[in-house]
Chains A and B, each alone.
Chain A
Amino acid sequence: MILYTIYPEEVIFSDNECEKNNQMTLTVQGVTLVVEVENHNQLKIVRLISSDPQDFLDERFQPGEQIIMKPLLRTKN
């Protein structure tokens, strides 16, 4: 892999151990969201990934909005 960028390599790859990444990407109602895990059942929207500009006007997907995860029993069919 070759990086072609104006940023020096040491800026991109500086290994800072204390930086923990608790973000993940998931799809909620057809829209891809980058979320941060806040609690065991709570997520916060960090970034919305969509090419549809209308999605960015949707109040539900605004960065900072919370997503609540509901416990669900897995049932075997």
Chain B
Amino acid sequence: MSDEELEKELEEEVKHSSEQNAILNQIQKLGQMKAPEQTVSNIHCLTIIGQVEGHLALPPKNKTTKYEHLIPQLVAIEQSEQIEGLLVILNTVGGDVEAGLAIAEMISTLSKPTVTLVMGGCHSIGIPIAVASDFSFIVESAAMTIHPVRLTGMVIGVPQTFEYLEKMQDRITNFVVKHSKITEERYKELMYSRGNLTRDIGTNVIGEDAVKYGLIDQIGGLGKSLIKLNELIALYKGKSDEQVVQ
């Protein structure tokens, strides 16, 4: 063996042992062979939990979903080339009207396929968000409370106050009616019905009833939601391919 070959072999051996060392280090540091790989998921997921927080920061004991977190994420999802679909999971008690409507509009105007899944509870301003997607699911045990926007804080007993509230109410109702199969009459009937809620007028709609009223598209959980989202992604891809051909 010539000197040159010997040198090469030695070099290779050193390289090999340093590679092994790197793996050993990794095991010592992280308890596993490889550092978690940053694979980009083609489906992103937004969880809307607790109170939907908008223009006013709520006291710290409230669990909140903040619109300043969600809105840029939605923009990033729309812009990203790797992300093909969005799953929105809702378990919310309601919150800021304008923050909720803004999030709902962002989801409904997203060009990529979107699926919403209602679990636990999705009340008040959570409803427009739940119906904003291309397809909505609700689990059998989940509840949605439809009730009128209440007067809170400083109330001036003048007709203008009530007009203002009614307009606010109409913004929500119009969005829900436009983005789901429920009729305006039915929605208002549920909203103003008496005797269903202990402290308020309105209706607590549970699982299958939400589908029956046309508010939500179908009963289903996580598995069904992802299957539907993948279907929509395939459809969407097919459509955009056709456009390229033209």
Contacts and interface: CB of A to CB of B under 8 A. Distances in A.
A7 B69 CA distance: 23
B229 interface: no
Interface in B108-140: 123-125
A41 B29 CA distance: 21
B26 to A, nearest CB: 13
Given A4-B149, A53-B41, A21 B95 contact: no
Contacts of B95: 3-5
A4 B94 contact: yes
Interface stretch (B1-9, B59-67, B176-184, B208-216): B59-67
A16 B69 contact: no
Interface centre among A8, A15, A21, A52 (most CB of B within 10 A): A52
Contacts of A14: 59
Contacts of B36: 57-60
A53 B150 CA distance: 36
Interface string A17-34: 001010100000000100
Interface of A: 1-9, 12-16, 19, 21, 23, 32, 49-54, 57-60
